[in-house]
Structure 1
């Protein structure tokens, strides 16, 4: 298909000569006798090439060039000028004219100017095609990277889950063996020990399943207007027997001046339960050198926040490397006793509350975890 070119000149003789020359060169020629007519034809046809005189009545060629470039920056415009008007022709190059030729117009000069213009059009098309292909390639590569990251995350999750389940099944197998020995020997002590091992590991499995459901499920907190001290009291009463069992002193320190606040009581209960369980376990760690193991669970009034919770222990503590990993899925410092989900779930719950969680720890001195919940209003009731 022949390429369109818009020819603009107020002199009829020049229009006819150039029309013949351009048609013979294989162009489909659109003709205008002034700039106003040229703009109308250009908007209707959008030719890639324009050949225009500079000196014309009314709107001159420079103004026409500017308007065409505003409409279509990629259109190539060649200017025609007389010998005495070289400064104007050079000025046109500042406004992104492709080239200029002088009157009288020689076929060779016109051919060279048109060749340059066509080369520029070809280069722009190649660049556009390359850019589009590059964008498509980037999009495909990005999708592959996202998919690879997704598969890696799934692989890590499955590996961590398999390890956690392996630990639990090991505990179940051990409990089964002790229970069988107790039955075989008619030893009540062995029976109780074996059965307690089985129950403990079944509870671990149940809690791990609940943690996984909580982690994978996108949910809005079930906001209720609550006493901020209530989850502290509930967790304290629930964990007190567990702490005594391992010789850990569990203390509670409540701020009686706290006002009722909007939060999800079940989620905050779960979070504090995870933190207190970890704190007690840290005190019973073999690397803990304290003679008197202690965990303090407290609520505090903090400026700018609805409530601050702190869980502090004087257990084994953590180094910087471990501190950087504690909120990662399936990372546990407890060996076979942990699943590596507790702190991850806690952080997710606090994030869902738009809250704040901070870990402070030092090896051999203990760990403190701080949770802050923002002030919310009654509009959350409908969520």
Structure 2
């Protein structure tokens, strides 16, 4: 069976050999281009791009070895069969080392020529088949990767929906309990029940509002918009936003800016939101404990080893620390130990850190306080 592209370039400086070998090749079903030297061969190769070249090794001017090297430079996939005399076996070996497909000795027999060309075209076919399989394998890997990512996304969505459903169910149960107590108060005309039921309903409505706002904030920071800015600015804005609440609790926020004024490439709105969450959690702990101090400081950490320059925001309090359960589920979705909490605040902080290519860490000191470190590449 002849190959799909049966074109062969024949190169020999002897006209008689070109005629005889050319007729043999045509009888075997090949389309033959003939050249008398390397320069003519390269011109024909550029014009017709035959997949196989049969060339004499010894020729005036550029010899067969040089022609082999130039052909491989122009097309690494071209198959070159070298023709040499009986006394030039060292040249034949050199040609094989330079990636020739085969070599023949003069006088070239019809059978040997046919076998050599069959091997050359078989190598071309195998290479094409391997390339096709490789492309199919890459497509298969890409498709399977997409399917795996889709499955992971769906699993993540499913887990999120499950956790969110539990959060909503808890709020709904709280509302039902409040309505039940209100109903009893109306039925029995008991003001104490009415007040108790109303407080339960109001508290759960607040939970719904907080959950909605936290979900909106979480979605808002799906993509960062970093820009060059003073890294102390979002920290200063977060402290200012919570100053009144802190003073009402009798614990003014202490702020120590030290990361600026040299600019860093961060999203200041996202960083401010993360710091608001961390400071608000500390204020909640201060309110629950009745004492304690809260501070925020910024630092610029120089590059060292494989670590790039970083901006670090440290929120620290002396409000008693976190319980083991709170530490274990600190960054878990919809997990909270606060009565009005949603479990999204710290999850948002972690997302903002990861979107920047940074991280957030918790250091807990039971009975004393907690420290959160938000570290971002500068």
TM-score band (shorter)? Answer: 0.7 to 0.9
Structure 2 match to 1:270: 276
Q: CA RMSD in A?
A: 3.3
Shift of 1:370: 3.4
Structure 2 match to 1:27: 30
Residues 136-285 of structure 1 aligned to structure 2 (within 5 Å): 136-217=139-220, 218=223, 220=225, 228=235, 231-232=238-239, 234-235=241-242, 237-238=244-245, 251-255=251-255, 263-264=268-269, 267=273, 270-276=276-282, 279=285
User: How many residues in Structure 1 have an aligned counterpart in Structure 2?
Assistant: 356
Aligned counterparts of 2:377 and 2:146: Cα–Cα separation in 1: 37
Residues 88-103 of structure 1 aligned to structure 2 (within 5 Å): 88-103=91-106
- Pick one of 83, 88, 100 that aligns with 1:85: 88
Shift of 1:275: 2.1
Q: Does structure 2 retain, via aligned residues, the 8 Å contact 1:308–1:373?
A: no
Q: Which moved more, 1:253-262 or 1:32-41?
A: 253-262
Aligned counterparts of 2:109 and 2:260: Cα–Cα separation in 1: 91
Residues 340-379 of structure 1 aligned to structure 2 (within 5 Å): 340-349=343-352, 357-361=360-364, 366-371=369-374
> Scaled by the length of structure 2, what TM-score is found?
0.82
Q: Does structure 2 retain, via aligned residues, the 8 Å contact 1:358–1:369?
A: yes
Aligned counterparts of 2:217 and 2:147: Cα–Cα separation in 1: 28
Shift of 1:118: 1.9
Residues 17-96 of structure 1 aligned to structure 2 (within 5 Å): 17-96=20-99
Q: Does structure 1 retain, via aligned residues, the 8 Å contact 2:42–2:71?
A: yes
Q: Does structure 1 retain, via aligned residues, the 8 Å contact 2:252–2:294?
A: yes
Shift of 1:41: 0.8
**Are positions 1:327 and 2:321 aligned together?**
no
2:324 match: secondary structure: coil
**Are positions 1:298 and 2:301 aligned together?**
no
Structure 1 match to 2:324: 318
1:84 match: secondary structure: coil
Aligned counterparts of 1:307 and 1:276: Cα–Cα separation in 2: 14
Shift of 1:340: 2.1
Structure 2 unaligned residues grouped into runs of 5+: 302-310
Aligned counterparts of 1:259 and 1:98: Cα–Cα separation in 2: 66
Shift of 1:358: 2.4
Q: Does structure 1 retain, via aligned residues, the 8 Å contact 2:279–2:315?
A: no
Shift of 1:295: 4.2
Aligned counterparts of 2:68 and 2:240: Cα–Cα separation in 1: 80
Q: Does structure 2 retain, via aligned residues, the 8 Å contact 1:232–1:297?
A: no
> Scaled by the length of structure 1, what TM-score is found?
0.81
